[in-house]
Amino acid sequence: MAEARSETLVPASAWGGGASPFAMNSKKLGMWLFIISDALTFSALLVAYTYLRLATPNWPTPFHFSPSILFASLMTFVLLSSSLTMVMGVHAMNHGHRRRAVGWILATMAGGAAFVILHATEWRHLIVDEGVTPFSNPWNEPLFGATFFALTGLHMTHVIVGVLYLGVIAIGVGRGKFKPEDVEVSGLYWHFVDLVWMFIFPLVYLMSVHI
Amino acid sequence: MPLAFIVWAFAIVIVYVFLARLWWFPPPINQHGIIYDQHFLSTLLVTGVIFFLAQLALGYVIVRYRDRGQRAVYSHGNNKLEVLWTSAAAVLFIGAVLASTRVYAGVHLGRPPENALRVEVLGKQFAWSFRYPGPDGKFGRTDIKLINDAGGNPFGLDDTDPAARDDIVTSALRVPVGTPVRLTLKSRDVIHNFFVRELRLKQDLVPGMEIPLVFQADKTGVYEIPCSELCGLGHHQMRSTLEVLTAEEFRRWEQAQVEQLRQLQQP
Amino acid sequence: MSSPVTHHAVHAAPKGFLRRYIFSTDHKVIGKQYYLLALFSVFVGMLLSVLMRYHMIYPDAKVSWFEKLWPTGAAGGIMTPELYLSLMTMHGTIMVFFVLTTAPQSGFGNYFLPLQIGAEDMAFPVINMLSFWTTFAALVVLLAAFFVPGGAPLSGWTAYPPLSAVGEIAGPGQGTGQTLWILSIALFCAASLMGAINFIATTIDLRAKGMTLMRMPLTCWAWFVTAILSLLGFAVLLAAGILLLLDRTAGTSFFLPAGLVVNDQILNHKGGSPLLWQHLFWFFGHPEVYIAILPGMGLTSTVLSVFARKPIFGYRAMVYAILAIGFLGFLVWGHHMFVSGMNPYTGIAFSVLTMAIGVPSAIKTFNWIGTLWGARIRFTTPMLFALGFVSLFVTGGISGIFLGQPALDLYLHDTYFVVGHFHMIMGVAAIFGIFAGTYYWFPKMYGRMMNETLGKIHFYLTFIGVYAIFTPMHFVGVAGNPRRYPNFKEFEFLGELLPVHTFMTHAAFFTAAAQLIFLFNFFWSMKKGAKAPVNPWEATTLEWTVPSPPPHDNFGGRLPEVYRGAYEYSVPGAEKDYLMQNEPAVAVKE
Amino acid sequence: MQAHSEQAIAVTAKTFVWVWVALLAMTVVEVLLAYFHVPLLLMLTALMGLSVIKGALIIAYFMHLKFERFSLFLTLFPMLIFCILLLFIFMPDSFRLMELRPR
């Protein structure tokens, strides 16, 4: 057929090759793709949690305002704020303020570290004081602890990896090696970690409703 | 070139084996089995024709369009044909599955009749056990702590419950002919599968679930029950039988069981 | 270094053996590494299957070297049922993950995606290298399961809990072996994820000028869609794997309900559900089937068009069919669970969707035959394998119409009918795609031609062999033969089917032996084959514009420009009977 | 939405602070909500609704998706949302599990 060959030689759209259709570098696209995949992993875990919770008649709701909810709210605050500092870091980097960017990234790392410490304290409280472990707890619904530790544990792993990742970025930026886009890509990851918590926090802590 | 003849030969052999029924289902012993076979045959007919024609066509183009110095046709396709065979395939496939839904629904969505004989089926690595409620018509209490396979108590019947004392536990499934049977399938360890070829029925036994399965056998005889879901190293040995007895035989067998239980429980 | 277009304009080949051949970031080296890994795996997997078939018909035979290989599993040289089951598990896992996922996608895809779209490398060369070595580690961890106490796991490649979750009390191999299995799968998930990101980013960003999506060869489309399936599917498998690992090592009970008594031990688990694993697993598992077969479909389309000397019939329809298969592939996982205790209404919904996926598959078949219609077929070895693919695809696909209906699945589920079905379509058809790709691209990869006579002998023996192995499986399946039985001694009705199994086993010996011809041809041609010209098959896609084998930077620093679709054969008025994709506009009579 | 990342640079830091404030406010609402004994469905809808809004804000502003080409959004998100919705096909089985539990 004629139309297949009579196409113009110059690509008609961004999809015609020789250009990035999203007008972004491949690294950023790669990070977005990773985020999609990782989001699905977390979704699968959250759906598994929902599935098991729905099938369990007496799901325990032991999170009281103090200390658990208070702690978790504080953690949410820390994480959200670290997202703000991160976006400020990206912003500074985009405007060519390298030193300021390093400062913001360090602040973000501090936020991440604070989150991990708070979370670890809460885990300790649950394990030592309340006797919740992945396989048993005082309310005799072992899945409660299992889902809690699996979900928050995987998230905490992501936070720890994120802090290390940001450390590498901070050093690179400080030495003048990395470009603004590298900071932005690391920012994408960090915000994603924040985003996941926005779903884990209400589903695991706040849904203390009897089903 | 030789490829065409090989393709045709295989197509012919396959169609022949299915037509001649060299290896085939055992005859069905229930209403569902008869419907199942009908549906299988109609699916076989439709798919068989498609299969044969497709392989025939493949062989044909191989022979007809081999390189004999001719010029190949320059064509990028034909949208009309494309639409035609897409819709034909869609109608055919969706039609087949809609037609079959009735057969599936008949097994899983019907309500068991009130007078159905109730039997519990328990799978474990690597044996089957069946429990009848006994004369009182009630399944007694069980407790996993009381499970004792060597002592003939795979269900863990609790003898302190009078309803449990008359429960009949066997290693083969015996049912009266022409009577609806409601099985409750459960497993104690891993997933097993209850399969009776002659009933055309198959259902997994999932730990943590009590899955109902209803059937009615209309022909007496002894039929094998193979476990059909990988359950471990003895999977291939996990055998029992379905014995379809006449009503009279079944009554006599049940009575003998009850009598035996009573004697065992005499102090 | 990663701005999309002016991507490292010229890069010199790295010096030093390690950087060049082992930890290379060159997509061509990585592609070959993947291919060789798959080649090794396929022979291991095949050896396991031959041993399984042997045990099935001679369960009591004494073979002294069995004992040397597996001192506990085959004490005295007699294979035990548990050894059979562990061979089966490893056969399935190796074949599905390390052959069918690795060879066509990671192997050929890595080598030829950048070449076909006119790029110098993949978008993330370092991640590409990491991805290979993670896959390698996954294979090592998996094979290590053979050598730990208890041996390899015996729960099948689907690893249904509770069998896979409760540990050693469920059987030998369910201890350390099963844990290694899950670790291997988790590593493989990570590797596939890295690969998928790379493939998608490369396809989107690095296409040469003029290479519109609708001008890409169908192979590229297939790799692209397969990568999307991997990206989403493996993400869910990873979640399932984490939960199973926790069940095994941390004592949780995601997949373990209350009241389990395994091997006379009361377990303290409570609340979980074995069905949850099945859902999560098949959510990945069904797209995985298409991950295995889609690249084969793309390749078959290309090879058919090249050797029919005819444009592909209905290019757009083919693209849409690939997309539709990818999309619907996510909607049909429930058809693996018709008899698993799933909600029957869900079952009915899944069955309709399952049948719907037959439609794009049918479109592909019709279009392949349409491509051949009016052609001028050159019967080279790759073409023979592509034609064989079409035949096998039809045969294997047809039996899917039976299994996709829950009503018929009530009998056929977990019988040899299923084994025959998926071996035909995702096993052998996909392998035929890999063979077609090997014979087709070998000249480009190694700069030498493979021997055509040996190739044809290999094809005919294999084609006859696989039909002889897998067709009878449908027959015994209809007779009700359950799968995953190490022997058929315990059941009366199975005894009658033993002659058929004997036939299949001999056919398997025959077919496996025929593969040695391929192995010989492959390695002999690598050293002694005739030197390959740039474009031995007179094909139009971009990989045939560069020397065989291509230089380190593929296009010598000057990226090609593309002017037309990938399948311009027998163009009226053109001098040759084909037009390369990068040939500038030429006078063509309408 | 057909803008480029340059626009992200043009956005002032003030915007991000406002987004942050909005996120915090919504979190406070969520926490408070947990102490009103509202019916399950309402609770779930409110919590998830707020979370989705929060997520959208994070994606749009912090992750700069608002300033990328719309085609990126169209490429990435439909498949993710589609897959997540698909996962909910598990739920009928969860209820069935309740029904068929051994008593």
The model's pLDDT over B108-117, given as tens digits with 9 standing for 90+, comes to 887 888 889 9
Nearest by Cα to C285 from C476, C453, C426, C173: C426
How do B239-245 and B173-176 pair as beta strands? Answer: parallel
Query: Would you state the pLDDT for residue D1?
Result: 31
Q: Is residue C567 part of a domain?
A: no
Task: Tell me which chain A residues have a C-beta less than 8 angstroms from the C-beta of D30.
Answer: 201-202, 206
Which residues, other chains included, contact C116 with Cβ-Cβ below 8 Å and sequence gap of 6+? C216, C217, C219, C220, C541, C542, C543, C566
Q: How far apart are CA C143 and CA C145, in angstroms?
A: 5
Which residues, other chains included, contact A96 with Cβ-Cβ below 8 Å and sequence gap of 6+? none
Q: Which residues of C491-525 are buried (b: 16+ CB within 10 A; e: fewer)?
A: bebbeebeebbeebbebbeebbebbebbeebbeeb
What's the structural domain count of chain C? 1
Q: Which CATH class is domain B117-265?
A: mainly beta
Give the number of other Cβ atoms within 10 Å of residue B194's Cβ: 27
Which residues, other chains included, contact C574 with Cβ-Cβ below 8 Å and sequence gap of 6+? C568, C586, C588
Give the number of other Cβ atoms within 10 Å of residue B252's Cβ: 12
| Bridge partners, residue B176, by sequence | B245
Contact criterion met (CB < 8 Å) for A80 and D48? no
Q: How far, CA to CA in Å, does C196 sit from each of B31, C101, C112, C127, C228?
A: 50, 12, 15, 11, 7
Each residue's pLDDT tens digit, A30-79: 999 999 999 999 999 999 999 999 998 888 888 877 778 888 999 999 99
Choice between B219 and B107, residue whose per-residue pLDDT is larger:
B219
Of A10, A37, A147, the CB nearest to C235: A37
What DSSP string runs through C39-80?
A: HHHHHHHHHHHHHHHHHHH-TT---HHHHHH-TTTTGGGPPP
Q: How far apart are CA A180 and CA A54, in angstroms?
A: 46
Task: Tell me which chain B residues have a C-beta less than 8 angstroms from the C-beta of D101.
Answer: 208-210
- Chains near B, with 3+ CB pairs < 8 A? A, C, D
| Bridge partners, residue C209, by sequence | C561
CATH of residue C502's domain is: 1.20.210.10
Q: How far apart are CA B218 and CA B211, in angstroms?
A: 23
Q: How far apart are CA D28 and CA C529, in angstroms?
A: 73
Residue B183's φ and ψ, nearest 5 degrees, are: -90, 145
Query: Would you state the pLDDT for residue A5?
Result: 38
Cα Rg, chain A, nearest whole Å = 22
Whether C277 and C158 have beta carbons less than 8 Å apart is answered as no
Whether C398 and C471 have beta carbons less than 8 Å apart is answered as no
Contact criterion met (CB < 8 Å) for C346 and D79? no
CATH architecture designation of domain A24-50+64-206: Up-down Bundle (1.20)
Choice between C192 and A6, residue whose per-residue pLDDT is larger:
C192
pLDDT in 10s for each residue of chain C, 590 residues: 333 444 444 456 777 888 888 899 999 999 999 999 999 999 999 999 999 999 999 999 999 999 988 888 888 899 999 999 999 999 999 999 999 999 999 999 999 999 999 999 999 999 999 999 999 999 999 999 999 998 999 999 999 999 999 999 998 899 999 999 999 999 999 999 999 999 999 999 999 999 999 999 999 999 999 999 999 999 999 999 999 999 999 999 999 999 999 988 999 999 899 999 999 999 999 999 999 999 999 999 999 999 999 999 999 999 999 999 999 999 999 999 999 989 989 999 999 999 999 999 999 999 999 999 999 999 999 999 999 999 999 999 999 999 999 999 999 999 999 999 999 999 999 999 999 999 999 999 999 999 999 999 999 999 999 999 999 999 999 999 999 999 999 999 999 999 999 999 999 999 999 999 999 999 999 999 999 999 999 999 999 999 999 999 899 888 899 999 999 999 887 778 899 999 887 645 44
> Any idea where the domains of chain B sit in the sequence?
2-65+82-108, 117-265
For B137: left if phi > 0, alpha if psi spans -120 to 50, otherwise beta; the answer is left
Amino acid sitting at position C270: K
**Structural domain containing residue C308:** 26-545
Exposed, middle or buried, C77 (CB in 10 Å: 0-12/13-18/19+)?
middle
Query: Would you state the pLDDT for residue A13?
Result: 64
Q: How far apart are CA C215 and CA C542, in angstroms?
A: 12
For A10, the closest chain C residue by CA position comes to C210
Nearest by Cα to C44 from C125, C116, C145: C145
Whether C487 and C512 have beta carbons less than 8 Å apart is answered as no
Q: How far, CA to CA in Å, does D95 sit from each of A51, C355, C513?
A: 9, 26, 52
Q: What is the DSSP letter of C261?
A: E
Of B125, B200, B236, the CB nearest to C263: B125
- HEC per residue, C405-428: CHHHHHHHCCEHHHHHHHHHHHHH
Express the helix, strand and coil content of chain D in percent, nearest 5 each. 80, 0, 20
Contact criterion met (CB < 8 Å) for C345 and D93? no
Contact criterion met (CB < 8 Å) for A194 and D50? no
Instruction: Find the length of chain A.
Output: 211
Whether C463 and B5 have beta carbons less than 8 Å apart is answered as no
Tell me the three state secondary structure of residue C569: strand
Instruction: State how far residue B212 is from chain D, nearest Cα, in angstroms.
Output: 9
Do the interacting molecules here have an ipTM over 0.85? yes
Tell me the three state secondary structure of residue C125: helix
> Any idea where the domains of chain A sit in the sequence?
24-50+64-206
Is D100 within 8 Å of chain B by CB? yes
Query: Would you state the pLDDT for residue A8?
Result: 37
Q: How far apart are CA D60 and CA C99, in angstroms?
A: 41
Nearest by Cα to C439 from C376, C388, C374: C388
Contact criterion met (CB < 8 Å) for C345 and D83? no
Each residue's pLDDT tens digit, A155-203: 999 999 999 999 999 999 999 889 999 999 999 999 999 999 999 999 9
Whether C537 and C306 have beta carbons less than 8 Å apart is answered as yes
Q: How far, CA to CA in Å, does A5 sit from each of C258, C275, C314, C530, D73?
A: 66, 53, 15, 36, 32
Q: How far apart are CA C562 and CA C582, in angstroms?
A: 4
Whether D100 and B210 have beta carbons less than 8 Å apart is answered as yes
Vertex C131, ends A158 and C331: CA angle to 5°? 75
Query: Would you state the pLDDT for residue C1?
Result: 35
Query: Would you state the pLDDT for residue B115?
Result: 87
Residue C411's φ and ψ, nearest 5 degrees, are: -105, -40
Residue C294's φ and ψ, nearest 5 degrees, are: -60, -50
Q: How far apart are CA C533 and CA C449, in angstroms?
A: 9
Instruction: State how far residue C73 is from chain B, nearest Cα, in angstroms.
Output: 12
Task: Tell me which chain B residues have a C-beta less than 8 angstroms from the C-beta of C379.
Answer: 1, 3, 66-67
Each residue's pLDDT tens digit, D41-70: 888 899 999 999 999 999 999 998 888 888
Q: Is residue C554 part of a domain?
A: no
Query: Would you state the pLDDT for residue D71?
Result: 87
The upper half-sphere exposure of residue C294, i.e. CA atoms within 13 Å in the direction of its Cβ, equals 37
Contact criterion met (CB < 8 Å) for A55 and D98? yes
Helices C381-403 and C344-372, packing angle to 10 deg: 150
Contact criterion met (CB < 8 Å) for B72 and C569? yes
Q: Which residues of A98-126 are buried (b: 16+ CB within 10 A; e: fewer)?
A: beebbbbbbbbbebbebbbebbeebbeeb
Q: How far apart are CA C204 and CA C214, in angstroms?
A: 12
Q: Is the peptide bond before C549 cis (omega within 30 degrees of 0)?
A: yes
Q: Is residue C397 part of a domain?
A: yes
Nearest by Cα to C250 from D48, B116, A165, A153: A153
Query: Would you state the pLDDT for residue A210?
Result: 61
Query: Would you state the pLDDT for residue C11?
Result: 59
Whether B93 and C401 have beta carbons less than 8 Å apart is answered as yes
Q: How far apart are CA D89 and CA D76, in angstroms?
A: 22
Amino acid sitting at position A181: E
- HEC per residue, chain B: CHHHHHHHHHHHHHHHHHHHCCCCCCCCCCHHHHHHHHHHHHHHHHHHHHHHHHHHHHHHHHHHCECCCCCCCCCCCCHHHHHHHHHHHHHHHHHHHHHHHHHHHHHHCCCCCCCCEEEEEEEECCEEEEEECCCCCCCCCECHHHCECCCCECCCECCCCHHHHCCEEECCEEEECCCEEEEEEEECCCCEEEEEHHHCEEEEECCCCCEEEEEECCCCEEEEEECCCCCCCCHHHCEEEEEEECHHHHHHHHHHHHHHHHHHHCC
Instruction: State how far residue D30 is from chain A, nearest Cα, in angstroms.
Output: 7
Confidence of residue A14 (pLDDT cuts 50, 70, 90): low
Instruction: State how far residue B102 is from chain C, nearest Cα, in angstroms.
Output: 8
Helices A26-54 and A142-174, packing angle to 10 deg: 170
Average pLDDT, chain B: 92
Is A2 within 8 Å of chain B by CB? no
Nearest by Cα to B233 from C580, A13, C155, C411: C155
Sign of CA dihedral C564, C566, C572, C577: positive
Tell me the three state secondary structure of residue C448: strand
In the structure encoding, which two tokens stand for residue C224, read together? 């692209």
Tell me the three state secondary structure of residue C561: strand
Sign of CA dihedral A140, A143, A147, A153: positive
Confidence of residue A211 (pLDDT cuts 50, 70, 90): low
B10: pLDDT strictly greater than 90 = yes
In the structure encoding, which two tokens stand for residue A36, read together? 């999609």
pLDDT in 10s for each residue of chain D, 103 residues: 333 445 555 677 889 999 999 999 999 999 888 777 778 888 889 999 999 999 999 999 999 888 888 888 988 899 899 999 999 999 999 999 888 988 7
